[in-house]
Amino acid sequence: MAGAAIKATGEGAEAAEAERPLTDGFHLVIEALKLNGIDTIYGVPGIPITDLGRMAQAAGIRVISFRHEQNAGNAAAITGFLTKKPGICLTVSAPGFLNGLTALANATTNCFPMILISGSSEREIVDLQQGDYEEMDQLAVAKPLCKAAFRVLHAADIGIGVARAIRAAVSGRPGGVYLDLPAKLFARVMDADTAAKSLVRVIDPAPAQIPAPAAVARALDVLKSAQRPLIILGKGAAYAQADDDIRALVEKSGAPFLPMSMAKGLLPDTHPQCAGAARSTVLKDADVVMLVGARLNWLLSHGKGKAWGEPGSKKFVQIDIEPKEMDSNVEIAAPLVGDIGSCVAALVAGMGSKWPLPPAAWTSAVNTKKEENIAKMAPRLMNNAAPMDFYGALGALRAIIKERPDAILVNEGANTLDLARGVIDMYQPRKRLDVGTWGVMGIGMGFAIAAAIQTGKRVLAIEGDSAFGFSGMEVETICRYNLPVCVVIFNNNGIYRGTDVNLSAGADVATTVFVKDSRYEKMMDAFGGVGVRVTTPDELKRAVSAAMDSGRPTLINAAIDPAAGSESGRIGNLNPQSKLRKK
Ligand SMILES: Cc1ncc(C[n+]2csc(CCOP(=O)(O)OP(=O)(O)O)c2C)c(N)n1
Ligand SMILES: [Mg+2]
């Protein structure tokens, strides 16, 4: 192994012994990762992991250094989503660790497999709280925020520690894992042969979880009983990489389907059964809803309330790998517990060749609604007004993705997010990456960088001006690694809108307002990329096309009418209002 270069020093009779090859903690961590197919690490260097990054790079792992750990963590998280292997984020102790922790918690919430590996300070000093350099009991802090947390104290345990972390991240419902490596561990030396034997290759890290035949039969019975079936595809379905079986399930069933944000493109949004443009109709009127890797959380109004029509009017079939997910918000008539691929394959097999199509009254009612809504939207997307509104700008970007369906779209913001999700059709699986379950700002540049690195495809990041600010410094990282990322900032001078006024007589601007007409494109210029400012949809389309053709790091500052957005985008209903506030 790589550590064999180190020789023990000794004297006299111990000379032979001294020639025994040795290795150390640094090499063992790297070898353990490589043995398990880890080829990329995202992180920020510093004590005690600077050499670990260097040596990992020397050993052939791609080590991508970021400007802030949260962005490195987000890159690792989305790598997990895209590859089904844990993405690795490497951070320094206490503050670096905490910076990475938001991404780890977000990965766990979104069921993305990732491992946050963090160096930590000396246990003896930390535990006696004697004020070590970057002192923190990181394991205790991480534990409630991730799926599993481990600490390795002995070099001989590095292999097993890495193996446990990998298996914990990807098996069952995937999630974030914390691996604590105290500084002393890296320099610990051990006999190279013994060390090699201590490494663990994780066999079958995410074993198939086959659904019970009775549960499959029950699910099919419920689906068959439907007069108005609906299939909802969640990002769990996208993660599963069971694209052909999912398509077969949807097409055999003949049911309208609704993709959740990151499941868009599993089947094209232009598919005749896609009910994305008739969302409120299908949610309200369906009588049987089959959830495929989608949770009944806030994003689906918890499966109840006004959006879901008459109380008790629906039966749910739910496919999920996590048994606890069943009945989380409403009764599930047919729980199907297993991995999505196995469950969907079993359903397709059970449907046979004579599965009845849903009543035409249902599918044609959905289609009528859908066509009505699409027709209503069309002229808004064609408007070439300046200043641009969201729809005009998104109409241009929608055309770009239609022309380049294999490009990856990253998206965050409020209006910029909600409207782009609705307007931009996706055509291929796992091409839309966004704020996920938490609606978190700050994923933009980390996701974009990892998407470019993992897939080699063009990346288009559509960012609200506020959203961009959370990770904007990583444009330097994009330039440093010369990544084919085009960032488009929807610049409406603030959060939701740029027109708010300070309610007091004070001189400060309102809390949601930024510097007017900021020249974000100069940030990209500063690092050698292409910076462009555009004010019309035509200019926007031209600039993005050029960026997608060239693959050069590009930032397009798109001036959007500061009055065009609405408060909180499409989720203003979640925003508490003061009864006392004057309107
Ligand atoms: C980490 C985090 N902090 C704060 C928020 C609250 N938040 C939601 S959207 C948003 C920014 C919206 O503004 P912008 O990105 O400019 O989008 P716009 O609506 O203006 O298009 C903020 C700060 C959040 N979701 N996540
Ligand atoms: Mg904005």
Ligand nearest to the CA of 571: 1
Neighbours of 15 (CB within 10 A): 11
Torsional class of 380: left (φ above 0), alpha (ψ -120 to 50), beta (otherwise): alpha
Q: How far apart are CA 261 and CA 69, in angstroms?
A: 26
pLDDT of residue 120: 97
Residue 494 phi, psi (nearest 5) = 165, -170
Q: What spacing in Å lies between the alpha carbon of 323 and ligand 2's midpoint? A: 40
Q: Establish whether residue 467 lines the binding site of ligand 1, counting it when its CB lies within 6 angstroms of any ligand atom.
A: yes
pLDDT of residue 253: 98
Least Cα distance to 175 among 206, 203, 152 occurs for 206
pLDDT of residue 7: 54
pLDDT of residue 17: 62
Tell which atom from ligand 1 comes closest to the C-alpha of 463: 15
Secondary structure (DSSP) of 79-114: HHHHHSS-EEEEE-SHHHHHHHHHHHHHHHHHT--E
Tell which atom from ligand 1 comes closest to the C-alpha of 569: 19
Residues 6+ apart with CB under 8 A from 44: 65, 66, 67, 68, 69, 72, 90, 91, 92, 96, 99
pLDDT of residue 2: 45
Host H or E run for residue 465:
helix 465-469
pLDDT of residue 242: 98
Ligand nearest to the CA of 420: 1
Least Cα distance to 144 among 100, 105, 110 occurs for 105
**What residue ranges of the chain have pLDDT lower than 70?**
1-18, 582-583
Q: 446-455 burial by CB neighbour count: b if 16+ within 10 A, else e?
A: bbbbbbbbbb
Secondary structure (DSSP) of 340-402: HHHHHHHHHHHH-S-PPPPPHHHHHHHHHHHHHHHHHHHHHHH---SSB-HHHHHHHHHHHHH
Q: How far apart are CA 189 and CA 18, in angstroms?
A: 13
Least Cα distance to 331 among 346, 316, 349 occurs for 316
DSSP 8-state symbol, 272: T
Q: What spacing in Å lies between the alpha carbon of 413 and ligand 1's midpoint? A: 5
Q: What spacing in Å lies between the alpha carbon of 412 and ligand 1's midpoint? A: 8
pLDDT of residue 198: 98
Which residue type is seen at 552?
R
> Reduced to 3 states, what is the DSSP secondary structure of residue 29?
helix
Tell which atom from ligand 1 comes closest to the C-alpha of 412: 15
Residues 6+ apart with CB under 8 A from 306: none
pLDDT of residue 19: 78
Best probe residue, ligand 1, of 391, 441, 463 (max atoms within 8 Å of C-beta): 441
pLDDT of residue 56: 98
Which residue puts its alpha carbon closest to atom 20 of ligand 1?
Answer: 496
Q: How far apart are CA 292 and CA 499, in angstroms?
A: 41
Host H or E run for residue 198:
helix 192-198
